[in-house]
A and B are shown apart, each in its own frame.
Chain A
Amino acid sequence: MYEIKTSKLLKQVMAGYFSAMKNKSRPLAWCTSVGPAELLRSFGFEVYFPENHGALLGATRKAMDTIPVASKIGYPSDICSYLTADIGSYIRKSTPLTKHYGLEAPPKPDLIVYNTNQCREVQDWFTFFGNEYNCPVLGIVPPRHMDEVKKEDIDNVAKQFRSLIPECERISGNKFNIDKFRETLKLSKEATGLWKKTLDTSKHSPAPISFFDATIHMGPIVVLRGTEIAKEYYRTLLAELEHNVKNKQGFIANESSRIYWEGMPIWGRLRYLSDLFKQHNSAVVASTYCNSWIFDAFDERHPFESSAFAYTTIFINRSEKAKLEILKNLIDEFRIDGMIFHEAKTCFNNSNSRFGMPARLKEETGIETLIIEADLCDLRFFSEEQSTIKIETLLEQISS
């Protein structure tokens, strides 16, 4: 049976990351997953990402217990289920971090930084914790949903990044050092480049890494980018996958179809969905989600402007027109036969099926498209039988 051996290393890397938080020896910042993590690291902050905790609550299905707890205090279950799962987990004093990494609770922040480049929900989510922990909350509010990111947009966001410096200096006790920022951004760029190459191995057939596996292996690029550890991790993973490509080994030996997953993962049903596609020899080889942590634009020579550009130009922050072009390129590069749009009930911003995109994409590229109604964490919004029929019908459409 095909397996990615580097998975063992992944466990060690993630355990090491959380272990550093357990023995907190440095100031700690919370940051959104596509926030200015490199800038924070350059001050010596350990960086913790609440969205990673949301995904863990979803994958372990603990979210089903914690979401109702948040609903009780006024955060209803139709808003972001990362937010409700995380706040519910805090109130309940129960986290999967205990079982998996020995942490009693998520680490207490000294500073909280959010970037609304993905959604406005993070603002309220992080502000809740700012109030709870009596901790400063700083926000980056970039322009949204753009056709293209222009110079004035970059200047706007770069200025907001720079404005974080005084508070970061005060809380970390370290003066801003541009060389450290450049160095961190360079490390991040290298890791992100290796992550892109990792995902690109699945342009080959048989593909060596599926979307479902990639959602697990993306851990270090989310939580450890800007460190040597992340870079080394993806160097190892990439070497294994390139070896597999060379030996024509993939997670499905004879691919009957190649599928693109658009939108958030359904964390609590990754295994089920992975097995379902495998039963039909269908390879889910690419996704918007995993591609979202590729930051080609990082340039240590212009650390503020390039990171402002990279974090503002992310897929989720683009117009429908720009998104369509990005998807068309990926369909072409990965030789995609069909695209699944996950319409996540509680994640309006990362559900791209609501403005006619699936029909437009089908018309312009000729590939089959399908909308699956579900959610990232809240499995009450996922009807397994109905969704299975829909996926199987899509695969029949492709094969007939």
Chain B
Amino acid sequence: MFFLGVDIGSLYTKLVVIDPENEIVHSDLFRTMARNRQKRDEIINNIHSKYKIGYTCSTGYGRKLLKSADVIKTELYCASAGVTQIARIDKTIIDIGGEDIKLLTSNSNGKVIDFYMNSKCAAGTGAFITEVAERAELDVLEMSKLAANSKSDKELNSFCTVFAKTEIMKWIFDETSIEDLAKGIYISIANRIQKIPANSSLPVFLIGGVAFYHPYLKNIIEDRFNVKVTIPKNPQLINAFGAACIAQKHFN
């Protein structure tokens, strides 16, 4: 018997199939096409023809769209379930997605003790990086490498993504190096996270698409927060993995 976790995020849909030992036997990642559900349905049908799926758990912004889901859970619970499967300890999880940042504390059993999610503004999310990097004429996939070579501590001050783009124009006019531009964008994200109340004595797990494409954020957060930060393997799949673990738990 296998279990399917489906994370329909704002930018990408992630699917994970696990076996009864919670090992990932299959995963998929493709752009969330809200209008075109055919591709998603085809992929899920293929999974069903290949694996005998006991239960399916859906999560993410589109969690209520998946008609075949047996269980629906929020990303925060799935993040907690997924990371807890990897590390059965008390921990802080930072999930930076396409359009939000979630920070949660979860115990060794995966119970969410506390959580925070910004619902006022999406500055500091994946969409923020994409927007500002575009203005800075940086390749988002190169940003991590560039930032690693910067000694700068300069950060973007503006809370608003659009005004941050104006600010970065000024940096370019001042002939700021591309390495410093990249690092400045990361520092501004870390500073936004730093304002969120959290127990600073707990180890941090950084997950989500931003952790995958921008691994240097780990160094900046470690440096600023003075904590150990771990980016698990396939950080963008953790919520789908957690959903699959929850599907199994409910099946049993």
Q: Is the CB of A390 within 8 A of B119?
A: yes
**Which residues of A, 367-400, contact B by the 8 Å Cβ criterion?**
372-373, 381, 383, 385-387, 389-390, 392-393, 396-397, 400
A91 at interface, CB cutoff 8 A:
no
Among B109-117, B141-149, B174-182, the stretch in contact with A = B109-117
Q: Is the CB of A386 within 8 A of B77?
A: no
For B112, the closest partner residue in chain A by CB is A397
Q: Is the CB of A400 within 8 A of B74?
A: no
A253 at interface, CB cutoff 8 A:
no
Chain A residues with CB under 8 Å of B112's CB are: 393, 396-397, 400
Question: Smallest distance from the beta carbon of B5 to chain A beta carbons, Å?
Answer: 16
Chain A residues with CB under 8 Å of B111's CB are: 397, 400
Across the interface, A373 reaches (CB within 8 A) one of B74, B76, B120, B197, namely B120
Q: Is the CB of B74 within 8 A of A389?
A: yes
Chain B residues with CB under 8 Å of A372's CB are: 119
Interface string of A343-386 (1 = CB under 8 A from B): 00000000000000001000000000000110000000101011
Greatest chain A CB density within 10 A among B73, B118, B119 is at: B119
**In the bound complex, what is the Cα–Cα distance between A385 and B117 (angstroms)?**
11
Question: Smallest distance from the beta carbon of A345 to chain B beta carbons, Å?
Answer: 8
**Which residues of B, 54-72, contact A by the 8 Å Cβ criterion?**
61
Chain A residues with CB under 8 Å of B7's CB are: none
Chain A residues with CB under 8 Å of B75's CB are: 389
Q: Is the CB of B117 within 8 A of A389?
A: yes
**In the bound complex, what is the Cα–Cα distance between A132 and B16 (angstroms)?**
64
Q: Is the CB of A392 within 8 A of B74?
A: yes
Chain B residues with CB under 8 Å of A381's CB are: 120
Greatest chain B CB density within 10 A among A383, A389, A392 is at: A389
Chain B residues with CB under 8 Å of A385's CB are: 61
Question: Smallest distance from the beta carbon of B97 to chain A beta carbons, Å?
Answer: 11
Interface residues on A, range: 10 to 19
Chain B residues with CB under 8 Å of A400's CB are: 77, 111-112
Q: Is the CB of B119 within 8 A of A386?
A: yes
Q: Is the CB of A386 within 8 A of B117?
A: yes
Q: Is the CB of A393 within 8 A of B120?
A: no
**In the bound complex, what is the Cα–Cα distance between A247 and B118 (angstroms)?**
43
**In the bound complex, what is the Cα–Cα distance between A373 and B117 (angstroms)?**
10
Greatest chain A CB density within 10 A among B61, B73, B120 is at: B120
Interface residues on B, range: 10 to 19
Interface string of B31-74 (1 = CB under 8 A from A): 00000000000000000000000000000010000000000011
Interface string of A178-203 (1 = CB under 8 A from B): 00000000000000000000000000
Once A359-B197, A396-B112 are accepted as A-B contacts, the answer to whether A389 and B76 lie under 8 Å apart by CB is yes
For B197, the closest partner residue in chain A by CB is A359
Across the interface, B77 reaches (CB within 8 A) one of A359, A387, A393, namely A393
**In the bound complex, what is the Cα–Cα distance between A149 and B121 (angstroms)?**
40
Q: Is the CB of A393 within 8 A of B119?
A: no
Q: Is the CB of B120 within 8 A of A383?
A: yes
**In the bound complex, what is the Cα–Cα distance between A370 and B181 (angstroms)?**
36
Greatest chain B CB density within 10 A among A373, A390, A393 is at: A393
Greatest chain A CB density within 10 A among B74, B75, B112 is at: B74
Interface string of B87-125 (1 = CB under 8 A from A): 000000000000010000000000110010111100000
Q: Is the CB of B117 within 8 A of A396?
A: no
Q: Is the CB of B61 within 8 A of A393?
A: no
Chain A residues with CB under 8 Å of B61's CB are: 385, 389
**In the bound complex, what is the Cα–Cα distance between A386 and B74 (angstroms)?**
11
**In the bound complex, what is the Cα–Cα distance between A387 and B112 (angstroms)?**
17
Chain A residues with CB under 8 Å of B74's CB are: 389, 392-393, 396
Q: Is the CB of B100 within 8 A of A393?
A: no
**In the bound complex, what is the Cα–Cα distance between A381 and B119 (angstroms)?**
9
Chain B residues with CB under 8 Å of A383's CB are: 119-120
**In the bound complex, what is the Cα–Cα distance between A400 and B73 (angstroms)?**
12
**In the bound complex, what is the Cα–Cα distance between A387 and B120 (angstroms)?**
10
**In the bound complex, what is the Cα–Cα distance between A232 and B112 (angstroms)?**
47
For B73, the closest partner residue in chain A by CB is A396
Interface string of A125-139 (1 = CB under 8 A from B): 000000000000000
Question: Smallest distance from the beta carbon of A196 to chain B beta carbons, Å?
Answer: 34
Q: Is the CB of B197 within 8 A of A393?
A: no
For A362, the closest partner residue in chain B by CB is B114
**In the bound complex, what is the Cα–Cα distance between A385 and B9 (angstroms)?**
12
**In the bound complex, what is the Cα–Cα distance between A389 and B118 (angstroms)?**
11
Q: Is the CB of B120 within 8 A of A396?
A: no
For A372, the closest partner residue in chain B by CB is B119
For A345, the closest partner residue in chain B by CB is B120
**In the bound complex, what is the Cα–Cα distance between A383 and B119 (angstroms)?**
6
**In the bound complex, what is the Cα–Cα distance between A359 and B115 (angstroms)?**
12
Chain B residues with CB under 8 Å of A396's CB are: 73-74, 76-77, 112
**In the bound complex, what is the Cα–Cα distance between A373 and B73 (angstroms)?**
22
Question: Smallest distance from the beta carbon of B74 to chain A beta carbons, Å?
Answer: 5
**In the bound complex, what is the Cα–Cα distance between A372 and B118 (angstroms)?**
9
Chain B residues with CB under 8 Å of A392's CB are: 74
- The 6 A-B residue pairs whose C-beta atoms are closest, nearest first, are A386-B119, A383-B119, A393-B76, A393-B74, A392-B74, A373-B119
Q: Can you list 21 A-B pairs, Cβ within 8 angstroms, ordered by A?
A: A359-B197, A373-B119, A383-B119, A383-B120, A385-B61, A386-B117, A386-B119, A387-B119, A389-B75, A389-B76, A390-B115, A390-B117, A392-B74, A393-B115, A393-B117, A396-B74, A396-B76, A396-B77, A397-B111, A397-B112, A400-B112
List 12 additional contacts besides A390-B115, A396-B76; criterion CB under 8 Å: A373-B120, A383-B119, A386-B117, A386-B119, A390-B117, A392-B74, A393-B76, A393-B77, A393-B115, A396-B74, A396-B77, A400-B77
